[in-house]
A and B are shown apart, each in its own frame.
Chain A
Amino acid sequence: MNSASSTFISRFLQSRIVWPLAGLALLLLFNLIFDRAFFEVTTRDGNFYGPMLTVMRLSVVVMLLAMGMTLVIATGGVDLSVGSVMAIVGTLVAFLAVKHHLGFPSLLGVAISVSLSIGAFNGVLISCVGIQPIVVTLIMMVLGRGVALNITGGSPLQVMDSGVLFLGKSFIMGVPVQIFLVLFVFAITVMLCRKTAIGLFVEAVGDNETASRLSGVNARGIKVLVYIFSAVCAALAALVSIGDAGSVDPDGLGQMLELDAITAVVVGGTVLTGGRFTLLGSLIGALLIQTLATTLIRQGMDSAYAPVPKALVILVVCLLQSQKFRAQIASLIGNFRKPTS
């Protein structure tokens, strides 16, 4: 083969999305052998339905959150507040639509500006006041949930706005709208990261903040930016989520989703300590976790047990990144080989 394609292959093998991709492929292969029905696609009213599409639909919210979370984690931080941001934005949007009959554009405007200010608040406390990211966003998580509950007094609301419902329930060319939304946000994010210097600066700050600052990089600004972006992603996730459900439960909306998003990012190959990141990996990570759950459920596992495989995936990924574990495995293989040679 020519050298161009061989370098492409070797570069691919070295990239960090190989592992999650291999995991996903393995799951699909398993389904191909034991559960052909997994790949079935049926059409109803010109819209596509089927287990694969359901998996994608179910992972959309986590995918949206994971994109923001990826950039946050790449700077060496973490954002625990995204679930509560979802709750605030979702509740506020539903509330304004019902009580004040705001149209979709103004609802979108509210969602973006509310999330923008929460993100900015997080970012400033972290980068300018110097409080640990986990603490700041934990506070925001508790505070935000309280605010969300306070908007309606805790009671659930119907979602009336047609624009929001369109995001959650409709189809374009037979494919759910939310899948297009994820692809759109993904494309925008990749453009932002790779066609501007944001990606480079995020990785530089996460990898070596001191060196970046001494090279003139505005590390504080970058950090504020990623928390804002993460909150905006959460706002979009909220719109999709309430549109899909058709109602808002301020107590349940986004609950614990921050942890699912972190899991997706870590499984996708971005390390918690920061530096190099992969947005595609995070999407695959979210998809992998959902596919695993769906596959096991189709194999007869109770859906309530779903957290267990998730736990095992996290642990395996952690161990694969641990120097000591790798060394142990390597020596184990070495011992295994010795007697034969």
Chain B
Amino acid sequence: MSGISKAFRGVQALKGVDFTVRAGEIHALMGENGAGKSTLIKVLTGVHPRDCGEVLLAGQSVSPQAPREAEELGISTVYQEINLIPELSVAENIMLGRQPRRFGFIDWKELHARARRALQRLEIDLNLHLSVSSCSLALQQMVAIARALDVNAKLLILDEPTSSLDEHEVAELFKVMRRLREQGLGLVFVTHFMDQVYAVSDRITVLRNGELVGEFKTAELPKLQLVGKMLGRELSAVEKVGDTMTLSADENTTRDPFLAAKQLGRKGGVEPLDLEIRKGEVVGLAGLLGSGRTETARLLFGADRRTSGSITLDGRAAALSSPAKAIGAGIAFCSEDRKSEGIVPSLSVRENIILAMQAGRGILRLLPRRKQEELAAHYINALRIKTPSPETPIQNLSGGNQQKVLLARWLCLQPKLIILDEPTRGIDVGAKAEIEKLVDSLRREGMAILFISSELEEVVRASQRVLVLRDRKKVGELSGEQINEDRIMEMIASHE
């Protein structure tokens, strides 16, 4: 096998991306949310048909139409949400769909022997009879890899394999990956963990907004430059933040914080961290995907139980054990997952706007219909929500307008603190600018805002103070004049 090469020319999610993996290398595929990593992989494995372009495997043109065909060609994938049958045994999961048979019946002895061989290739000793659901996620990952290898894979794609593993487990995984590299396999390693890329990969391909940024040898690409390429800003090209800070640092410190969290954390979620938000202040949470931004927000809102730390609101201790209680205390949370945690799809714009307010009023005191319509009309007008009518189901609106409806849902409560998790994700440029403007005006009105975004530029523009997170840990805090993209990127990229 001289080497595996692939080339694509997609149209929308992928704009003519070229991607090459050689046999016997670990190739990292990097990019922020929406960069097109998962689309690329799904095209490669036959989940999505490609619009144009070509895939070459060992010099031959192939076009798998389904995951199964891709597997037969030698392209195996282990997805982030490990695709195994939880209640079946380890051995069965490795062999499902290709169980060896004798006289038409499954030959369990042979099945176990083959499963054991597959695991031995990874040098893993695991009880084959254990049901997969009772294995740790790391072991499940290994089972999935063993399954992928059993079909004589030439190319193994690992989609975010480390996102739920601890340090020790990651090290084990890397050992296995290196072993497979020595056996001549090509490995694609999709991840957003910078340190891991440098620990294990030979080459890096960076995607951004569905376009190829470039392919680099890992050893020749400094970490800072990689961050720049992922975020689409060359270090040298970063302009000094033009917007003036309306609040000076002194003004900030004189005010008492509205919310103060001490050693707030959750096992498996975020490591304990301190956080303060003052009235009339925007605090940004910066960090790459999976760095613990959303987890922190959910803890503040009571959507997840914290396992450590305490929170005070206006100096008084607050339990915030459920969303309802957090809302009662004046906290609002606009989730990043608009579809499954935000909109109530078949209800109207009006109903979506008043939902949280009505929940606060309880069952009996229904907001009068007139008042509902007034509120809806007010926010449709104020936030310039484009909708045929307040009675249109929210699912018929564009992403940006859905986002504005969700903002309206929270704003009509007049919260003291609003947490905005990726409020600009997946919406067009015009709507983005409007939302940024809105954030600023809310701050001027005295609202406390926690602003989370993958786009550093946005965080820098909006925030008076920025907390930087990396690998579920707080790694630094910047305020006032210190805030600029370079500093944040350095903190994200830095070692301990």
Chain A 205-232 interface mask (CB, 8 Å, partner B; 1/0): 0011011111111100000000000000
Chain B 340-353 interface mask (CB, 8 Å, partner A; 1/0): 11111111000100
| A200 touching B351, Cβ below 8 Å | yes
| A197 touching B361, Cβ below 8 Å | yes
Residue A195 at the chain B interface, CB threshold 8 Å: yes
What interface size band does chain B fall in? Answer: 20 to 34
| A217 touching B340, Cβ below 8 Å | no
Chain A 185-216 interface mask (CB, 8 Å, partner B; 1/0): 00000000001111011011001101111111
Cα A276 to Cα B328 with chains together (Å): 27
Residue A275 at the chain B interface, CB threshold 8 Å: yes
Q: How far is the CB of A35 from chain B (nearest CB, A)?
A: 40
| B355 touching A212, Cβ below 8 Å | yes
| B324 touching A218, Cβ below 8 Å | yes
| A217 touching B364, Cβ below 8 Å | no
| B346 touching A207, Cβ below 8 Å | yes
Contacts of B65 in A (CB 8 A): none
Residue B303 at the chain A interface, CB threshold 8 Å: yes
Provided the pairs A204-B347, A208-B340 are in contact, do residues A213 and B355 lie with their beta carbons within 8 angstroms?
no
Chain B 158-195 interface mask (CB, 8 Å, partner A; 1/0): 00000000000000000000000000000000000000
Cα A206 to Cα B347 with chains together (Å): 11
Residue B358 at the chain A interface, CB threshold 8 Å: yes
Provided the pairs A204-B344, A208-B344 are in contact, do residues A214 and B363 lie with their beta carbons within 8 angstroms?
no
Residue ID in chain B nearest A274 by CB atoms: B346
How many inter-chain residue pairs (CB < 8 Å) link A and B? 78
Docked complex: A311-329 residues within 8 A CB-CB of B? none
Cα A149 to Cα B58 with chains together (Å): 74
Contacts of A210 in B (CB 8 A): 340-341
Q: How far is the CB of A158 from chain B (nearest CB, A)?
A: 42
Provided the pairs A196-B363, A197-B362, A201-B363 are in contact, do residues A217 and B347 lie with their beta carbons within 8 angstroms?
no
Count of chain A residues with Cβ under 8 Å from any Cβ of B?
21
Residue ID in chain A nearest B356 by CB atoms: A215
Q: How far is the CB of A277 from chain B (nearest CB, A)?
A: 11
| A217 touching B343, Cβ below 8 Å | no
| B355 touching A207, Cβ below 8 Å | no
| A207 touching B359, Cβ below 8 Å | no
Cα A214 to Cα B327 with chains together (Å): 9
Provided the pairs A195-B366, A196-B366, A208-B340 are in contact, do residues A215 and B359 lie with their beta carbons within 8 angstroms?
yes
| A216 touching B362, Cβ below 8 Å | no
Q: How far is the CB of B121 from chain A (nearest CB, A)?
A: 41
Cα A204 to Cα B351 with chains together (Å): 9
Q: Which of A195, A212, A216 contacts B344 (CB 8 A)?
A: A212
| B351 touching A215, Cβ below 8 Å | no
| A218 touching B347, Cβ below 8 Å | no
Contacts of A213 in B (CB 8 A): 323
Residue ID in chain A nearest B355 by CB atoms: A215
| B323 touching A214, Cβ below 8 Å | yes
Contacts of A212 in B (CB 8 A): 344, 355, 359
Interface residues of B (CB under 8 A from A): 301, 303, 323-324, 327-328, 333, 335, 340-347, 351, 355-356, 358-367, 409
Interface residues of A (CB under 8 A from B): 195-198, 200-201, 203-204, 207-208, 210-218, 275-276
Pairs of residues from A and B, 8 with the lowest C-beta to C-beta distance, nearest first? A216-B359, A215-B356, A216-B327, A216-B324, A217-B359, A208-B344, A207-B344, A215-B355
Knowing that A204-B355, A207-B345, A215-B323 are A-B contacts, what are 14 other residue pairs whose CB atoms are under 8 Å apart, sorted by A's residue number? A196-B363, A197-B366, A200-B347, A200-B351, A201-B358, A201-B359, A204-B351, A208-B340, A208-B343, A211-B341, A214-B301, A214-B335, A215-B355, A217-B324
